Amino acid sequence: MNISTIRLPLEPNSWRADFPILSRPVRDGQPLVYLDNAATTQRPRQVIQAIVDTYENHYANVHRGIHWLSDQSTDLFEDARQKISKFINANSEQEVIFTTGTTMAINLVARSWGDANIRTGDEILLTEMEHHANLVPWHQLQERTDCRLRHIPITDDGQLNLATLDTLLTDRTRLVSITHVSNVLGTINPVAEIVARAHAAGAIVLVDAAQSAPHSPLDVQQLDADFVAFSGHKMMGPSGVGVLYGKQSLLEAMPPFLGGGNMIRRVKLDRFEPADLPAKFEAGTPPIVPAIGLGAAIDYLLQVGLQKIHDYEQVLTQYAHETLGRIPEFHSLGPAPERKAGIVSFTMDGIHPHDVAQLLDRHGIAVRAGHHCAMPLHKKLGITASSRASFYFYNTPAEIDQLAAALEDALRVFRRR
Ligand code: 7TS
């Protein structure tokens, strides 16, 4: 691929200027090469400004409004919910629950829907490529209910082996909970097909969209997913806020998860009546400013264009595979680039993944190393750790060249030892 002659789906440098942190020097004045976007992304000035503006001009607690400022704060908070609802094409804002992130969203479903619906011997179908956030809440549910956890296996090239689905979906399967995009392999899973097959078998589906919502168009109605979870901080929003989307009928039938203020219609000394959606699942003071910041991030995402982001990251990923693939010691995990999002996890012959990350850091290049909260997946791959470069639309082909050069340098350092 001759990257200099390709017409790129978007021009990263025109957006980079909005991200103050991307132009700050790190380590002895070197430019920052930020390739840890699967862990968390950076924020443009517009999001930071929305946060500052809220605190400086519009901040009060929400939904308690007798006063003017509280009304303003509530309007901004509910505007953000509306933006998110449109962004994912929910049927109504009542289907959008603010959580602290993907982790809390999945825990909410496991606790509330799980405890109400799962009985001994019922089956929950997961996959071998899940983040711990989509494993441990189900382990905990298993401890409470003695249900059975099953897993869709992965193929040698890191895709879900859907040939197994007919036998794994049984009349005991109540829920299928799957990641849309693997945070390690980058694999984009055929969620709509899995939803259709799960529904035909009488099971509902939760989609972990932590790694997909920030990078490509997400239409919950088109997927026909029953629950969808994602995090604000992976899509340029603040940390501390995330979303659980749920079909209204399911959410209405579920008991509240946490108890406290805001989630009630009426409280007596000996009992309570829950509020309507979405308040029923938002006990206590919510993440007010983070939610407003997430609304600003969504405005920004829509300006850039989700399809363009997806298409551009596709080019970057292909370029990364080609460029890094010329290094004989480099081995990427997961499928071919056409089948994955902008995540390139890899091992290097003769250098531990943590050492790789440390040597890259000397060049100002930020990547993650370790098991990326996916220990069972690494075990399946026969390794304990990997290094991971993950992209966003503000990354450039030149940064991938820098990564390749730094990896060559790391090999030279190790050979000298
Ligand atoms: N699901 C997936 C697929 C993820 O990648 C992550 C975070 C989560 C759930 C949890 O999200 P949280 O916002 O609630 O923490 N993944 C990563 C990662 O790959 N590196 O750091 C965090």
Same domain, 106 and 126: yes
Q: Could you say which of 136, 165, 250, 373 is catalytic?
A: 373
Query: 62 is in which domain, residue-wise?
Result: 48-303
Q: Is the CB of 231 under 6 A from ligand 1?
A: yes
Same domain, 193 and 320: no
Q: Is the CB of 101 under 6 A from ligand 1?
A: yes
Q: Is the CB of 133 under 6 A from ligand 1?
A: yes
Q: Is the CB of 179 under 6 A from ligand 1?
A: yes
Cβ contacts of 16 within 8 Å, gap of 6 or more: 22, 23, 394, 396
**Number of domains composing the chain:** 2
Question: Could you say which of 303, 319, 345 is where a domain stops?
Answer: 303
What does the pLDDT read at residue 221?
98
Q: What is the CATH number of the domain that holds 391?
A: 3.90.1150.10
Q: Is residue 40 part of a domain?
A: no
Beta bridge partners of 369: 387
Same domain, 263 and 182: yes
388's enclosing H/E stretch is strand 386-390
16's enclosing H/E stretch is helix 12-16
85 C-beta neighbours (distance < 10 Å), count = 20
Q: Is residue 36 part of a domain?
A: no
For strand 148-152 and strand 123-127, is the pairing parallel, antiparallel, or unpaired?
A: parallel
Q: Which residue lies with its CA nearest to atom 20 of ligand 1? A: 39
Residue 288 tokens read as 């007010």
**Residue closest to 310 by CA, chosen among 178, 218, 209:** 218
What does the pLDDT read at residue 417?
63
Same domain, 265 and 379: no
Q: Is residue 43 part of a domain?
A: no
Contact 89, 221 (CB under 8 A): yes
Same domain, 288 and 402: no
Nearest ligand 1 atom, CA 102: 14
Same domain, 296 and 324: no
Q: Is residue 316 part of a domain?
A: yes
Angle at 258 between CA 263 and CA 284, to 5 degrees: 50
Same domain, 278 and 338: no
Residue 373 is among the residues annotated as catalytic for this protein: yes
Same domain, 54 and 177: yes
Cα–Cα distance measured from residue 356 to residue 385, given in angstroms and rounded to the nearest whole number: 11
Residue type (1 letter), 92: S
CA of 129 to the centre of ligand 1 (A): 12
Q: Is the CB of 38 under 6 A from ligand 1?
A: yes
Q: Is the CB of 174 under 6 A from ligand 1?
A: no
Q: Is the CB of 246 under 6 A from ligand 1?
A: no
Cα–Cα distance measured from residue 58 to residue 87, given in angstroms and rounded to the nearest whole number: 24
Same domain, 240 and 338: no
Nearest ligand 1 atom, CA 234: 13
Q: Which residue lies with its CA nearest to atom 15 of ligand 1? A: 103
Cα–Cα distance measured from residue 316 to residue 310, given in angstroms and rounded to the nearest whole number: 10
CA of 334 to the centre of ligand 1 (A): 18
Q: Which residue lies with its CA nearest to atom 4 of ligand 1? A: 210
Name the residue of 134, 138, 207, 211 whose CB sits within 8 Å of the most ligand 1 atoms, as the mutation to test its pocket.
Answer: 211
What does the pLDDT read at residue 319?
98
Q: Is residue 42 part of a domain?
A: no
405's enclosing H/E stretch is helix 397-416
**Residue closest to 226 by CA, chosen among 374, 91, 342, 358:** 91
Residue type (1 letter), 100: T
DSSP assignment of 317-342 equals: HHHHHHHHTTSTTEEE-SS-GGGB-S
CA of 233 to the centre of ligand 1 (A): 10
Cα–Cα distance measured from residue 115 to residue 98, given in angstroms and rounded to the nearest whole number: 21
Nearest ligand 1 atom, CA 242: 13
Contact 134, 125 (CB under 8 A): no
Question: Could you say which of 303, 328, 352 is where a domain stops?
Answer: 303
Cα–Cα distance measured from residue 236 to residue 217, given in angstroms and rounded to the nearest whole number: 15
**Residue closest to 206 by CA, chosen among 194, 222, 216:** 194
Average pLDDT by stretches of 10, the chain with 417 residues: 90 97 94 98 98 98 90 97 98 98 98 98 98 98 98 97 97 98 98 98 98 98 98 98 98 98 97 98 98 98 98 98 98 97 97 97 97 97 98 98 98 83
pTM: 0.98
Q: Is the CB of 341 under 6 A from ligand 1?
A: no
Q: Please give the C-alpha separations between residue 122 and each of 109, 118, 125, 167, in angstroms, as whole numbers.
A: 16, 6, 10, 15
Q: Is the CB of 36 under 6 A from ligand 1?
A: no
Contact 346, 331 (CB under 8 A): yes
Same domain, 296 and 332: no
Same domain, 351 and 275: no
Q: Is residue 39 part of a domain?
A: no
Same domain, 199 and 317: no
Q: What is the CATH number of the domain that holds 154?
A: 3.40.640.10
Residue type (1 letter), 394: Y
Q: Is residue 38 part of a domain?
A: no
Question: Could you say which of 303, 329, 354 is where a domain stops?
Answer: 303
Q: Is residue 122 part of a domain?
A: yes
